[in-house]
Chains A and B, each alone.
Chain A
Amino acid sequence: MVLIENGNVHFPKGETKKVDILIEGDKIVKLGEKISVDAEHIDASGCEVFAGFILPATSVGVYNYADLAHPDSEEKSTPVNPDLHVRYSLDPAEVKLQGYERHGVTAFGAVPGDPALIAGQIGVYHTSGRTAAEMAVSEDVALKVNFIPSVKRTFASRDVMPMTRMGMASMLRNELKKASLKKEDDASYDPGRDVLCRVLNKELPILCNVRERFDIETILGIQKEFGFKLILMGAYQADSLQEKLKEAGVSVLLGDLIDGSLVTYFDADIPALLKMSKKVLTAFSNNGSGYEGLLWSAEKAVRNGLKVERAIDMLTINTADILGVGDKTGSIEAGKYADISIWDGHPLKTYDAHIKVCMTAGKIWRAEQ
């Protein structure tokens, strides 16, 4: 057992309490004032204690940087791949290399890349572990769809569909339509169709990668037709459609706010996106950068006027709720994974705040001093 003592513990919605946290194995078992127990003690006096930050969508860890010419995150032999699962490309060694602990990032959404229309299923994993199974928080998270220009660019060069937006939308519709026509007694082997049936039954959301307003409008139209659960990622102009997103129950993983190419060329209105986050469930993400990118996006939001407490929620509980793992991680609560970071200051207030300890599913990492 491990006891984190005397820390200033941060809970959702800006609540803070001086409580001790008792951890057994990979879980938090008890919170309370002055817990007295025979355990390994971590003194968090004068420190800020947060739930582990969650990087919601990245291909880092599934990319295979050892062989840049053949990324394992990009199956682009065909545009439609609902039955692929990212777990088979997840390289725990590549995840380890990132050193996510340095920013208190304890879990991440592993996501197939951008070239295919239906790219495959995503999983949420801890940032530390020996195998995908050992790292898995949940492997039943969402199906990734790309509705961005990389898809048409990939297939246009081969002279096959889809080479236009029309083609992309039509293919997605046809796949969903075919799945919806599956007869109840049809037990034939068609794993891709079965995944799409789960999407249609609202058991598995679609995580749709979009860029501009135009992309969002099209995917919202398709969602209206078929009624699946929808999460948007990279939605740089989502603020302009916030009423519709709210109405359709769509949540948003913001695009990388420090990625100049996208923020700049899509004229992302960051204050407006942050205002949207009051209406629409929203979290921070980044575009496959290093361990720093997630916190940097949150920092930029703070510079644009977001309250630090809300920024912390958008790194933790909002992210967990969007990815459907809010019962397992995203806040410091008995029964959840021991995903915790301890800092000697508030990292969204001052750069002079240094991480001391990062705990990932109970595994302790300590900063070198």
Chain B
Amino acid sequence: MSMHIKDAMIYDMEGNAPFKGDIYIEDGKIAQIGTDLKVCADEVIDAAGLVALPGFVDAHSHLGGFHMLNYDECDFNEMTDPVTADVCAIDGCNIQDKCFMDACKGGVTTMCITPGSGNPIAGLAFIAKTAGKDDIHELVMKNPSALKLAFGMNPIGVYGKKNRMPMTRMGVIKVMRDAFHEAKTYMEKKEAAGGDAAKMPDYDGKLEAISLALSHQIPLKIHCEQFDMITAIELAKEFDCEYTIEHAWGAEFYLPELKEGGGAVNYGPVGVPTGYGELTHANIAEVKMLEEEGIHVSIMTDAPITMPELIYIQAGEAVRRGLSHESALKMITINPAKTLHVDDRVGSIKAGKDGDIVLFDGVPALEVAAGVKYTIVEGSIVYRR
């Protein structure tokens, strides 16, 4: 299968100025980019007047695991124990959920789908394409891709009601630290066993899952707002883990620590009412402040908490609040691809990368009327308007 996208205005997110050209996709991969390509393709899209971007990458979503009208069908929060490190989002992710089509409508072709934030150690996230196959396992790019942790009101709200630890922020970090120490000891015992089955500790799924992060195989994906960011960085440092800061409302007050810590920030979603505590500082203008400090930042949607298309609406809102348009587009394409370590496959339009392209009838995040005309995943049209 091959596809020839002709005469699009290409924003390649490789640092080049937008240029008019063709994209040729063969066997799911971008084979050629250029002007007036002389190729013979199975499918030709006349993209004159359209804008081509790499499919958007949403670094934080719960698609397929939260049914927004029926909370009994929320399969992403196993709130029976504060530590459920070994549950896998992929096992709770229903690809038949209507929200998956919303991702295509919003131009989002890659997502990191993660367990919810009901538990301090919530489980394992994965990265997948949003369409093209009807079995989630066939869409996977990386599984597991991260160990999800959650600070703040979400776990406190869950266990506070049950009079169980953690009922407080003090409790949340203790639960995490204790579990990490246990996993470290577990790893040391395994190491000491030196392959001798008799000396091995009893198998523990939770500790195995945490070990993945402690042994640098996957990063920590840490839900935190306001001063919880400081605690999150402290924990990651203490156990020498790679980490990303998720949501990050109020990041403007912790810029030095975020910079020094070195983890990437997946910011959002905004559009929530402003209240007290964690709800005080959801402000898209913070992505500009983070960028100015040299912190690697992406914009995420938390879909289906908000619609996947909010990825480019929020990017537009950031422009409205003073961010450069180029940066806004990076924050929904190449930046999250790098954060998720999948930039060898997605995040920009480059020969050799996956043929994930979104065609707009205008410039997204700049022209308000610009909407998705085509979403293409690995050379197949998965949505057309």
Contact = CB atoms under 8 A, between A and B. Distances in A.
Interface stretch (B38-46, B198-206, B313-321): B313-321
Given A264-B99, A292-B271, A351 B317 contact: yes
B273 A290 contact: yes
Interface stretch (B10-18, B175-183, B216-224, B274-282): B274-282
Contacts of A238: none
A104 to B, nearest CB: 11
B324 to A, nearest CB: 10
Contacts of A259: 307
Interface centre among B272, B274, B309, B317 (most CB of A within 10 A): B274
A304 interface: yes
B368 A348 contact: yes
B371 A304 contact: yes
Contact of B310 (A63, A99, A258, A264): A258
Interface string A127-147: 000000000000000000000
Nearest to B316: A351
B308 A292 contact: no
Contact of B307 (A263, A304, A347, A351): A263
A97 interface: yes
Contacts, number: 104
B366 interface: yes
Contacts of B69: 261-262, 265
A60 B273 contact: yes
A259 B101 CA distance: 15
Nearest to B372: A303
Interface in A68-109: 68, 94, 97-99
B68 interface: yes
B343 to A, nearest CB: 26
B358 to A, nearest CB: 14
B45 to A, nearest CB: 20
- Indicate the size class of the contact surface on chain B: 35 or more
Interface in B59-102: 68-69, 98-99, 101-102
Contact of B366 (A97, A347, A350): A350
Nearest to B280: A97
B63 to A, nearest CB: 10
Contact of A65 (B273, B369, B371): B273
A293 interface: yes
Interface of B is mostly: loop
B125 interface: no
A195 B375 CA distance: 53
Contacts of A94: 275
B370 interface: yes
Contact of A97 (B270, B274, B367): B274
Contacts of B370: 303
B307 A260 contact: yes
A265 B98 contact: yes
Interface string B310-339: 100100110110100100000000000000
Contact of B275 (A97, A258, A292, A302): A97
A28 to B, nearest CB: 27
Interface string B340-375: 000000000000000000000000011111110000
B273 A349 contact: no
Contact of A299 (B274, B282, B313): B313
B227 to A, nearest CB: 18
A353 B320 contact: yes
B306 interface: yes
26 contacts: A65-B274, A97-B274, A258-B306, A258-B307, A258-B309, A260-B68, A260-B99, A260-B303, A260-B307, A260-B308, A261-B68, A261-B304, A262-B68, A262-B69, A264-B101, A264-B102, A289-B271, A292-B270, A292-B317, A303-B369, A303-B371, A304-B371, A350-B368, A351-B317, A351-B319, A352-B319
Q: Which 4 A-B pairs have the closest CB atoms?
A: A65-B275, A261-B68, A260-B307, A351-B316
